[in-house]
Copies of this chain bind each other. A is one copy, B any other.
Amino acid sequence: MVNSMGRPPTFERDEVIDKAMDLFWRQGYRATTPNDLVDTLGIGKGSLYHAFGSKRELFSLALDRYRDQQAVLIDRALAEPGPIKDRIIAAMRLIIELNTTDADRRGCLAVNTAAELATVDEDAGERVSAMFERTTGAFTDAIRAGQASGELRTDLDADAVALHLLTTLVGLQVLTRTTLDPERLARSVEVAVAAL
């Protein structure tokens, strides 16, 4: 008797969150207005606030959705077969390519949110941190495996290396919002990996 009473919604909740994620990603949190949301989500204001409570709550859902969708990308790239260094380079190149292919140059929602909100919105900051830690963890696993298999030098601390890779990744996400030449960025990635 909990859930099947009353008028059913006319929209797919997940689809709407996806679209909201896209919009926040493109425009940033503050720059996105309720009217923007209504326009691109294809639902009325009534439904919007009834279903999600507030812009801020919807944004949290969008952040979580982003985490679930994007985390996979790095994980998958690192899980491919082949030499570890190549996989890391491929992962970075993938990010560069996604960003420079994207007409809107939206970069990374987590990075953008770190820059826009992390210092003033504690919850957002924590969500972003968690994403960063997660990615760092994926790198750490890859590095450890590479060290164990003898592909990578073992005199470097795996955690430090992983964090450096995250730093590089985050930096790339910012630079692709401004810098024009993806080839230049790609070449700089090789430098990052040459050290390992």
**A-to-B contact residues, CB < 8 Å:** 27-28, 30-31, 104-107, 111-112, 114-116, 118-120, 125, 128-129, 132, 156-157, 159-161, 163-164, 166-172, 174-175, 177-179, 184-185, 187-192, 194-196
Q: A30-B30, A105-B119, A190-B160 are known contacts. Are A175 and B167 too (CB-CB below 8 A)?
A: yes
Choose among A118, A159, A177, A189 the residue with the greatest number of B CB atoms under 10 Å from its CB. A177
Q: Which residues of B contact A28 (CB under 8 A)?
A: 30, 115-116
A-B contact pairs, 26 of them (CB 8 A): A30-B31, A105-B119, A107-B115, A111-B115, A111-B174, A115-B116, A119-B177, A125-B177, A129-B179, A157-B191, A159-B187, A161-B188, A163-B191, A164-B168, A164-B191, A166-B171, A167-B167, A167-B168, A167-B175, A167-B185, A168-B171, A170-B170, A170-B171, A171-B171, A195-B195, A195-B196
A128 to chain B, nearest CB (A): 6
Q: Which residues of B contact A160 (CB under 8 A)?
A: 184, 187-188, 190-191
The residue in chain B whose Cβ has the minimal distance to the Cβ of A129 is B178
Within 8 Å by CB of A171, from B27, B125, B174, lies B174
